[in-house]
């Protein structure tokens, strides 16, 4: 199998539709919801829910259809493009507004955890709700005050109550993306869920870590805080407290038996291997928006980018702009490779983290350099460029910081374990 760099027709068609959404429903409201952080853009959410249902867009693992055959000829199976399609969709929506993208109805990181660590029955049960009548959200609850990048330090605890056959969970999770929309029972939303990572045996270390699906409205669970943030302000970021929260026995993802392996922790990492390239795609969407805006303003002021000339004959702005284009395109190629590997069920821990590191760097550098080149125009709130500069930084932070992902890359290349290289 080889990587195809030309986007398949279904992806191109979807991008065309999403570009209209990005321009008409996202950018037109970007400034308002950046300044009114915790208001909910109901029109966008309801429109996207209806549109995604009609187009079959947004499912974490859409079914691949084969081409129709003629007569008795065998049908030709199309190459798998589920993650490639998601990356393209996310890049385009983030080009519109990354905060809005993060509140697009669907499973998000919570559904990704179910997909990575759940049984076939759990996938059928929990992922089916994203096709229901009301917009539905899911969120991942992993980070704690004492366990940020080091997820093995999680202190949330889940204990089995053998009398009721329920798990009792205690702990507090912070910086939960879309946590409020996934858990709070808004009248206009369907029944969502959060995926809470907790230990069933703290003495077993990483081997004792498991994920639990906690449905919206569960008693003992509260959204105790909403963060005020630098960027992605249209998206809620919540603190969620769990006090004697009871969930059914079969809501644990993976085996409830603790063995001398890190199976539970590997479930968490498998989730990130699938989603880190998608986060990278999101960051590159923001970077592309900034680069295109910069080109537009340079054209308006008569600054031409003269491609094909030796670097010593180019102006400094021309060299910097071309370098920014190279950074963006090279980072996108890394995303394409990582999602291609995910689609073809190839281990992609190295490529996933590499794409995330590169996109985090590229997004920050391109948006910052665009602000610098445009000076007052870049710094002014008259345009969205300063907002994109603020939005871009999150790519380097969530779902594994740039530093942590560099460690993952080094371990993969050098063959060290987590305990050997920290």
The catalytic residue positions are 399
Per-residue buried b or exposed e for 278-306, using 16+ beta carbons within 10 Å of the residue's own CB: bbbbbbbbbbbbbbebbbebbeeeeeebe
Burial class (CB in 10 A: 0-12, 13-18, 19+), 37: middle
Closest CA to 320 of 282, 368, 285, 280: 368
CB 92 within 8 A of CB 332: no
Rounded Cα–Cα distance for residues 17 and 167 (Å): 44
DSSP secondary structure, 245-256, as one string? EEEEGGGEES-S
Continuous H helices in 22-119 = 28-35, 42-55, 82-101, 108-117
DSSP annotation of 309 reads S
- CA distance readout (Å), 247 to 159, 194, 214: 11, 12, 6
Closest CA to 261 of 334, 330, 210, 198: 210
* Phi and psi angles of residue 253, each rounded to the nearest 5 degrees, phi first: -95, 115
Residues 6+ apart with CB under 8 A from 363: 283, 284, 286, 287, 392, 393, 395, 396
């Amino acid at each position: 199998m080889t990587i195809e760099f030309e986007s398949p027709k279904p992806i191109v068609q979807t991008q065309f539709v999403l570009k209209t959404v990005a321009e008409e429903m996202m950018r037109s409201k970007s400034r308002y919801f950046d300044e009114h952080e915790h208001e909910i853009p109901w029109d966008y959410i309801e429109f996207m829910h209806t549109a995604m249902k009609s187009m079959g867009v947004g499912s974490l693992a859409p079914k691949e259809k084969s081409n129709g055959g003629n007569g008795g000829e065998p049908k030709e199976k199309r190459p798998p493009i589920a993650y490639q399609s998601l990356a393209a969709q996310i890049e385009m929506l983030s080009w519109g507004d990354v905060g809005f993208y993060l509140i697009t109805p669907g499973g998000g990181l919570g559904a990704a955890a179910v997909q990575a660590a759940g049984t076939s029955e759990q996938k059928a049960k929990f992922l089916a709700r994203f096709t229901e009548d009301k917009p539905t959200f899911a969120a991942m609850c992993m980070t704690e005050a004492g366990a940020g990048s080091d997820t093995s330090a999680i202190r949330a605890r889940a204990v089995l109550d053998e009398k009721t056959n329920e798990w009792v969970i205690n702990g507090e999770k912070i910086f939960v993306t879309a946590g409020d929309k996934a858990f709070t029972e808004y009248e206009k939303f369907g029944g969502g869920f959060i995926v809470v990572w907790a230990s069933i045996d703290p003495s077993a270390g990483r081997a004792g870590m498991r994920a639990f699906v906690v449905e919206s409205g569960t008693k003992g669970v509260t959204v105790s805080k909403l963060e005020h943030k630098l960027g992605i302000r249209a998206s809620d970021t919540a603190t969620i407290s769990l006090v004697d929260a009871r969930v059914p026995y079969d809501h644990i993802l993976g085996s409830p038996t603790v063995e001398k392996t890190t199976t539970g922790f590997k479930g968490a990492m498998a989730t990130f291997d699938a989603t880190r390239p998608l986060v990278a795609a999101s960051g590159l969407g923001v970077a592309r928006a900034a680069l295109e805006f910069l080109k537009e303003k340079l054209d308006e002021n008569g600054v031409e980018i003269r491609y094909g000339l030796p670097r010593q004959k180019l102006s400094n702005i021309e060299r910097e702009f071309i370098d920014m284009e190279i950074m963006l395109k090279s980072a996108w190629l890394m995303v394409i490779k990582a999602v291609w590997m995910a689609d073809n069920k190839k281990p992609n821990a190295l490529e996933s983290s590499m794409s995330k590191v590169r996109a985090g760097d590229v997004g920050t550098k391109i948006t910052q350099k665009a602000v610098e080149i445009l000076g007052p125009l870049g710094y002014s709130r008259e345009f969205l460029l300063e907002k994109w500069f603020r939005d871009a930084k999150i790519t380097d932070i969530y779902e594994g910081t740039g530093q942590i992902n560099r460690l993952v890359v080094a371990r993969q290349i050098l063959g060290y374990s987590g305990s050997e290289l920290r």
